[in-house]
Amino acid sequence: MGRSPHISVIAALLVVLVASGCGSTRPPPARAIATPPDAPAGVARPASGTYFSLEDPAHAQELVLYALGLLGTGYAFGGRNPEAGLDCSGMVSYIVEQVSGRSLPHNAAQIAGMTRPIAVSQLRPGDLVFFNTLNRRHSHMGIYMGDGRFIHAPSTRGRVRIERLDNPYFRPRIDGARTLVETG
């Protein structure tokens, strides 16, 4: 019995979607013009001149707790909620909105561009970690939970889970850390 041509088209589309990573769209070209004094070298301030930050610093810890509650949630490319599945940036933007009532874009590179850069050594629970997993900066992300661990929605093995930053796959791919807590 032969395969339906529709099934072949659907299978090809799924392969393209899975291979394209966790951001739903490519970020627009950067329009930032000034580098903040506290940023690591090569990182520019967002075009708006201000960084996205949580109104209540206690929300950072709540991000971690909320993320822990999503462990085991299925992966879905472009996924923005636990019922349908989550991708990496969809998980982060969903959690931030649930905890703070404020929205972030559904794209890892755009989130990196609008949040305050910090050194990886300065990571605190609730901060964001970014990775170059598709030969482009900030193509994957997660929420730092402390003790060298982060929570993310990977396409591999398809479930929200905890990984270590020193994991042999992730360690060489770390390409940024951001905080959502206003620094004074």
Q: Is 138 a catalytic residue?
A: no
Catalytic residue among 59, 106, 138, 152: 152
Pairwise CA distance, residues 136 & 21, whole Å: 10
Catalytic residue among 22, 59, 88, 138: 88
Catalytic residue among 59, 106, 138, 140: 140
Those residues whose C-beta lies under 8 Å from the C-beta of residue 172, and which sit 6 or more positions away, are none
- Chain mean position to CA 71: 15
Q: Is 152 a catalytic residue?
A: yes
Q: Is 140 a catalytic residue?
A: yes
Those residues whose C-beta lies under 8 Å from the C-beta of residue 45, and which sit 6 or more positions away, are 32, 33, 34, 35, 36, 39, 51
Residues taking part in catalysis: 88, 140, 152
